[in-house]
Structure 1
Amino acid sequence: MKSYWTESLGLTDSNALNAGWQQLAQAICRCETNTLRWQVIQQPTGSGKTQALKVLCSIQNPIQHPGVLIVTKFREEANRLSEGINKLAEWNMARPFHQEAPGTNDQLAFAPVIITTHAAYRLALKEIADTGLTHKANRLLSYHGGKRGWVVIDEAFDWADTYSLLASNLRSMSGDLVRAMHGELRTAAEQLLDFSIRLTDTDHGRSDRVLDAECFDILACIDVNGLKAGVAGTSEDALAKSIEHRLATKTEPASRIERSSKKQYLDQLDQLQTIARIGHGWTSRRGGRTLLHGSRSLIGVDGMRGVILDATAGIDPAYAVMGHHVDVLPRPLGIRTYRNVTLHVSYGHKVGKEHLAHNAGREWATVWGDLSKRLSGKHILVCAHKDALPDIEQYGPKDGCVHFDNWGNLDGRNDWNRCEAAILFGLPYLDDIEPAQRFIAHQGQQSDEWFRGSRKYEEHADIRTALGDGFIARSVVQAINRIQCRNAIDAEGNCYPTSIYLLLPSGNTGMAVLRAIQQQMPGIQLAEWLSGATKRKARKVPTEIKLTNHFENADPGYYPKSEIVKTLQINPSSLERVTAKLRQQSSVLAGKLEAYGVRYHTQTGRGKEAYFIKQ
């Protein structure tokens, strides 16, 4: 590795790098001793983890090769890794395996190194979890009649398998199936309707809670597999008639009904069956919509343990949640220093997807107006929300020196390693459902107290918040290290001078991200950057619009006036003025709500409260 690093790649080695490569080799070779835990290598970006992996695979004895499965994020990377290993080995030792590079069972079983994608490996794990069958896993793991000795996952892998179903969609589907099915399947559809009604007729507040045992027992008794077979055997026309009948009842907007289809029903039933198989679930309510959730861990379902190469493992609480399944190895000191990197931070911004998707063009004009002169002549990577890209790309210079890409499409890529600066325009927030799903996947069913806020876990005061902040932090560090600061230029691990421009929100999340960057990139220089972007006060949405938008998508049920104030975050006096119009049945607002099946009821007397009812 030292020879390849210095002579072939023209890079400078160091004692710290040698220690890192030795740690990686030892961890991978331990795979053959059936270690009980995945070994996580958290050496920094640019320390040669992937290069060392290529060398290690290539130098194994062809006759006694351990057999390696490498799992990487992108198909292109799988192709490049295969070519690199074969070039070093001087024979076709490795082969990629994905949709664009198929292979027969024999071809795969006799290839010393198979390189596939995260998506393909995930499908293999799900097949085992769902059916106990190992067809997909065997194609990846079989080697000369046995199993591959080494499994290496390049970049963080999402081991949580999560499912979320909108209760109102279940209710609509089950009503359609009651009309379309016959005999025992109709009974199953009626049970499903009863289950979905229970979901939508409870949880009137914005609360998350465990699916109670009685409700889950109903789900467990439903013949979901029979319903899947019934739907699969029913023509599109027959299902369409049930949908048309529902459309005629005007219980929900036509725009939602028209999207219903046989394929969607089969997908919903598949997810429902998986939640039932998991054995527990929970419900959330957001914006008047109830969702049913379930999640499980896929780690270890194939009986394999191996090595995960993840530079940001040290700031991702997901590894702590996986507990006894993983060991995060300590990062050898001195591999990298980032004293030539300057992080320019501007605080107090709105950086979420929803805000920037609607205001990207205007806000980016401010950012680019400030930075275009500072960064003139430099190659720049701009990372933004995918929905914002069309509005900001038009402001970039036409000489190709500014490269735009979106969150979720950066990790592990080396496309921008000559860029001298990066601008991070927005942050990739998770909603608060996903962190809960991930925790429950690895730690099992939680109590109602956990959902109400008692979520201390190890050193984290609230693990749900910590998982969300950790996801943002690791995404930001990964994005920063796509550009030239990923490349060490001397034995001390320095890089060429690099500038990063980052907009952060006020509060704990922004501080958590900043701390994570400093932890992951020791020596990085901080500088204040006063950007005027994304600080304008958001225009207020009129209460009438909030009310109609809310009830257009809300589940049927009872909604106290106080709950509407809290859910929509509106001023009580403003709602009072609006509800005065609802007492006039001829008003436009009353007509809109009636079209959604909503009526407003007033009550008088001590302790009485006005409320809305949606049929």
Structure 2
Amino acid sequence: MERLWTLKLGNVAGPAFRELWTRMGETFHLAIRQNMKASALSIAPAWQVLAPEMGVGKTQGALLYMAMMAKASRKSSPPLRIGGLFVARTIQQCEDAARTINELAGFEAAITRHSSNVVTLQECRRFPVIVITHAAVTQSWAQSYSGIVDAYGSWEGGRRCLVIIDEALANAVEFHSIDEGSLHRVLGLRVSAEFKAKHQQAFDAVSSMLDFFKAVSSRVEEISPIWSEQDPLSSGQIDELEILFRQLVSDLKSVSSYDPIWNDPDSKNAELQHVWETLSAIIQLYRHWALFSIQGAHKALTTGKEKVPRFFAPVVLNATANQDPVLDYRRAKLVSLPKVRSYRNLTIHILRSNGLGKTAMRKAGEARLRHLAQFVSEHTKPGDKWMVVTHLATEALARKHLPEEIALTGHWGSLDGLNDFRDCNKAVLFGLSFRDPAWPVSMYFALRGAQTKEWLRSKEAKAIRHKLEVMSIAAQVIQALGRPRSRKVIDEEGNCLPTDVFVTLPNTSVGRDVESAIGEAFTGAVIRDWAYDLDGLGCQSKQKASPSVAVVTAMKNKSPGRYLISAIAKEVGLTSTETANLKDALRKKRAIVDDLRRLGVSYSVEGSGRGAKSYLVKR
């Protein structure tokens, strides 16, 4: 590991690092022994969690162990060859992990299995190591020990006795919600009278839920459990309703010609997706619990359930494990590890303010990001490289105003485990990704079971909601703080090169507790006030905007579908002249066309003359 860490990855190691890596290896070895003894009747031991500081090689060390294990197993005869399962967050991280394992093993020891690399389970049996995504292990097959064993528990050489989950498990809790608009949209489907008559029972069930929703909305004025102790429908009735809903969606797939929406593949898929999400939410609300929530003018009914895979003795790699409520729910065991990093060269500048959420940032995004671009330019020295993190909804605006040659952008929710920013010596975490006010309650209900209205008003509930909100924000901020140059080790004491990060936190008790969590995670870091005017009133940026880059960034973050250019232009704040120039560049196939093509995006025009509409279509 030391050779990999120093010679290939360009870091520095010392005795403390060697002790840390030894503890990691011992943890993997223990998990193998536990799995070798496991059976369907065994009592599962606590999950083991490795939560070292960031930038100590935890993922690289795990991949090296997998490679060494696969290589060593070749010396044994089947069925005594040990294999493993590595679970990464994204498809790209899966591919990177398999490539690294194979390079380190010196042969093709690992294969990926995901939506972009569809291989059969039989093909997987030829490889000692399988790499899959977080999404795969939260599916139904992973909800039982036998399901996991049947899918990935063995290969042609023996058993896969080591399971490693990299980073906090995504989608371990699944939420479903409905609001008045989503129910009206299903009831207002543009289908024939014959279709509605055929599925009258299903539409009646949606109508009944709408009536119920309106009744609740008229009498409830705060977050409140609606049913938690008595189910409104029996299990058999719910099963029958699900059959009706599935048949409705199945028949919708063959609807055509009645309305233009059903003849355009993208529009049809979007409509089918919405209908199924709404109908699924109704089913899940009946199967579990229902929580009524209000956020501004928006009212919703929400439910949820945990989807934690039933692995027998996995090892979780998660630097922010202390901020993960799912691991707390699993009563996971935090493995004792030495502190090996010193962050005395990391300076964290904190602006304590309000108006940091997505809504406020979108509303003031153009002015705020123009002002931020000016701040970045004024505080840039030769050789500086910036990482700028915003909300997904405002990343394109950031890209529009920030100098492309010195700034890289990212958005909340996409940073865990990334090394893309490791050469950035300066960073700005601009705004925060706040959860819905009902999220802490929904999360607690999903993991611990529904509670009463009286409990929701208790001091215990208030403390739990505060704790979960702090955990959610702290995990995001700590992950982001570990992305720039602060993660690279330059000496045996674990120091990093000088790095400055500018952070916005709410001026509340939640913000103060998040700040405390930051101090605990980054030992020795210098924390200072950031004297900055968030809105920069009266400031005019000297930076030249880049509309084309903003449009490309916006489309990069979009799901497949068809988007009006006028809507994209409005989203990234283009003027009428800039929008006209954009359309001209698309028509004349300038550089932006190649940039979009690499994202699977094409330009199309429907109609002619003044009635023509221009689209960007992402496949």
Which TM-score tier does this pair reach, normalised by the shorter chain? 0.7 to 0.9
Q: How does 1:227-306 map to 2 (within 5 A)?
A: 227-232=244-249, 234-235=251-252, 261-277=271-287, 279-300=288-309, 302-306=310-314
Partner of 1:532: 533
**1:231 Cα deviation after fit:** 0.7
2:374 counterpart of 1:360: no
Q: Is the Cα contact below 8 Å between 1:188 and 1:224 reproduced in 2?
A: yes
**1:160 Cα deviation after fit:** 1.1
Partner of 1:14: 14
TM score, norm. by length of structure 2:
0.74
Q: Is the Cα contact below 8 Å between 1:417 and 1:487 reproduced in 2?
A: yes
Q: Residues of 2 paired with 1:206 and 1:147: CA distance?
A: 55
Q: Deviations over 1:145-178 (max 9, x none)?
A: 8752111111111321221122553366468799
2:127 counterpart of 1:111: yes
Report the residue type matching 2:413 in the other structure.
Answer: G
Report the secondary structure of 1:102's partner residue.
coil
**1:264 Cα deviation after fit:** 3.0
Q: Residues of 2 paired with 1:285 and 1:310: CA distance?
A: 33
Change (3 A) 1:259 1:452: farther
- Say how many residue pairs are matched: 511
Partner of 1:443: 448
Report the residue type matching 2:527 in the other structure.
Answer: L
Q: Is the Cα contact below 8 Å between 2:87 and 2:134 reproduced in 1?
A: yes
Q: How does 1:145-294 map to 2 (within 5 A)?
A: 147-158=159-170, 159-167=172-180, 169-170=182-183, 173=186, 186-187=200-201, 189-203=203-217, 204-212=219-227, 216-217=232-233, 221-222=237-238, 223-232=240-249, 234-235=251-252, 261-277=271-287, 279-294=288-303
Q: Residues of 1 paired with 2:284 and 2:508: CA distance?
A: 38
Report the residue type matching 1:330 in the other structure.
Answer: S
Q: Residues of 1 paired with 2:235 and 2:210: CA distance?
A: 9
Change (3 A) 1:187 1:178: farther
2:46 counterpart of 1:37: yes
Q: Is the Cα contact below 8 Å between 1:224 and 1:269 reproduced in 2?
A: no
Partner of 2:483: 482
Q: Is the Cα contact below 8 Å between 1:167 and 1:289 reproduced in 2?
A: no
Q: Residues of 1 paired with 2:59 and 2:279: CA distance?
A: 41
Q: Deviations over 1:443-483 (max 9, x none)?
A: 11111123335434xxxx52222212211111111111111
2:347 counterpart of 1:342: yes
**1:407 Cα deviation after fit:** 1.0
Q: How does 1:390-539 map to 2 (within 5 A)?
A: 390-398=396-404, 400-456=405-461, 462-534=463-535
Q: Residues of 2 paired with 1:532 and 1:366: CA distance?
A: 9
**1:356 Cα deviation after fit:** 1.1
Q: Residues of 1 paired with 2:207 and 2:150: CA distance?
A: 39
**1:518 Cα deviation after fit:** 0.6
Q: Residues of 1 paired with 2:280 and 2:337: CA distance?
A: 42
Change (3 A) 1:355 1:86: same
Unaligned runs of 5+ in 2: 36-43, 262-266, 539-619
Q: Is the Cα contact below 8 Å between 1:178 and 1:190 reproduced in 2?
A: no
Give the share of equivalent positions with the same residue, in percent: 23
**1:243 Cα deviation after fit:** 14
**1:184 Cα deviation after fit:** 10
Change (3 A) 1:221 1:370: same
Partner of 1:49: 58
TM score, norm. by length of structure 1:
0.75
Q: Residues of 2 paired with 1:340 and 1:382: CA distance?
A: 20
Report the residue type matching 2:386 in the other structure.
Answer: I
Q: Residues of 1 paired with 2:147 and 2:66: CA distance?
A: 25
Superposition RMSD in Å: 3.4
Report the secondary structure of 2:132's partner residue.
strand
Partner of 1:88: 104
Q: Is the Cα contact below 8 Å between 2:290 and 2:302 reproduced in 1?
A: yes
**1:95 Cα deviation after fit:** 1.5
Of stretches 28-37 and 173-182 in structure 1, the one that deviates more from structure 2 is 173-182
2:322 counterpart of 1:314: yes
Q: Is the Cα contact below 8 Å between 2:47 and 2:314 reproduced in 1?
A: yes
**1:190 Cα deviation after fit:** 3.4
Q: Residues of 1 paired with 2:292 and 2:361: CA distance?
A: 29
